[in-house]
Amino acid sequence: MKKLLETSPKIDGFRMPAEHEPHEEIWMAWPERTDNWRDGGKPAQKVFAEVAEQISKTTPVVMLVNAQQYDNAVSRLPEEVQVIEVSTDDSWMRDIGASYVVNDKGERCGVDWEFNAWGGFVDGLYWPWKRDDQVAQKMCEIKGDSRYRAPIVLEGGSIHVDGDGTLYTTEECLLHESRNPDLTKEELTEVLCDYLNVDKVVWIPRGLYNDETNGHVDNLIHVVKPGEVVLTWCDDTNDPQYEISREAYDALLTQRDAKGREIKVHKLPMPGPLYMKEDEAAGIDIAEGMERQAGERLAASYANYLITNNQIVLPLLDERYDEEVKNLLSDLYPDCEINGVEAREILLGGGNIHCITQQVPQV
C-alpha cells in the first residue's frame, strides 16, 4: 500500500508531464446522473463508449462505474475497456481524478486536489460531492501510487501544463470566490508551483463564455507544445466570446513562458453558437445548481480535445467547422492521428472530451 506524502512534488523532484508525453492509461467515469444527462444518461453513455473506443486505439481505458450501472456499462463498452466499480457523484474524470506527476527515476505519484463541485455552497453544481472528492485517492490506491493531498480546491480542467515548466490557467476560475477565497493570486501561484513543479504560471483573464465551471482553461485553450497553444477564436463582434478571445490572445502574447519564450497562438474557430434544444432540456430532471433549460447557451469549444499516445480525440460539434479544425490540428500535430467523435451529448452535460478523461502517464 503506497502512502500519503506529507512533502510536495517540487521538494521530491516530481513534475507534471505534458499531455503529449506517453500515457499508460486513460481513466473515465460512467455518466448516469439524471439531473445532468438526459433520458437517464443513455445518449451520453453511447457517446462515452464511442470516446472510450477511439482512445483504445492507442491507449488502454479504465472506466469507473457505480454499482447499479456496472452490468449496463460492461454490456455497452468495448470489451478491451477495463470496468471498475467505484462510487462517483458524476462523470467529469478530468476534474475529480488525480493529476499525475513523475520523476526521472521512473516513479509516479498522484496529486489529489480538494473538489467542491465547481463552487461548493457559493455556486457549486450539486451537493453532496464527497464521492467525487474521494476519486483521486481511490485512483492512486488502485494504481498502487503514492499521493499528495494538495491544500487547495482545484479541478484538473482548470490547468494545462506544457511539461517544460509552464502552467496555464484562468483568473476567472482559480481566483473565484467559490474556490480559495482566502488565498491571493501570488499564494495560489506558489501552491501550483509546489504541487506541479512548474516555474511559471501564465494567467489568462477569463474562460469560455457561459462556462459553468467558472471558465476552465481546457475549454478555451490547449497546449500544442512548449511555447505554443491553440485558442478558441470568435470573429462575431456581437458575440460575448469576441472580447473574451481577444483578451486571452493579448494576455498570451504579452507574457513569456517559463523558458522565456514568446507564446505562439493559433486561432481555433468556435463552433456555433450552440444552444440547448427543447427536446434535450425536456429529458433532464430539474435540480438546483445546474441550468438545463431550452435556449441555454452551451459552452462549446474544439479546444476540449484529448491528446493520447499520438492520437487526438476531437469533439465534432458543428459541421460548418469540423473539417477545418481537423485540418488545422493535422498541421499542428503532424505525428498524431485525428479521430473525431460526435460530442453534442457530452456538451449538453457541461463539458467535452478533455473534461471526461484523465491520463495516467507512463513511467
355 tagged catalytic: yes
The DSSP bridge pattern shows strands 311-316 and 306-307 to be: antiparallel
d(CA 315, CA 272): 13
Exposed e or buried b per residue across 42-59, where buried means at least 16 C-beta atoms within 10 angstroms of its C-beta: ebbbebbbbbbbbbbebb
CA-to-CA dists, residue 14 to 32, 104, 187, 198, 360, angstroms? 35, 8, 20, 10, 14
Nearest to 91 by CA among 154, 140, 47: 47
- Judged on CB neighbours under 10 Å (0-12, 13-18, 19+), 225 is middle
Residue 274: Cβ within 10 Å count: 17
Catalytic residue (choose from 140, 173, 234, 355): 355
Peptide bond into 78 cis (omega under 30): no
- Give the catalytic positions in this structure: 355
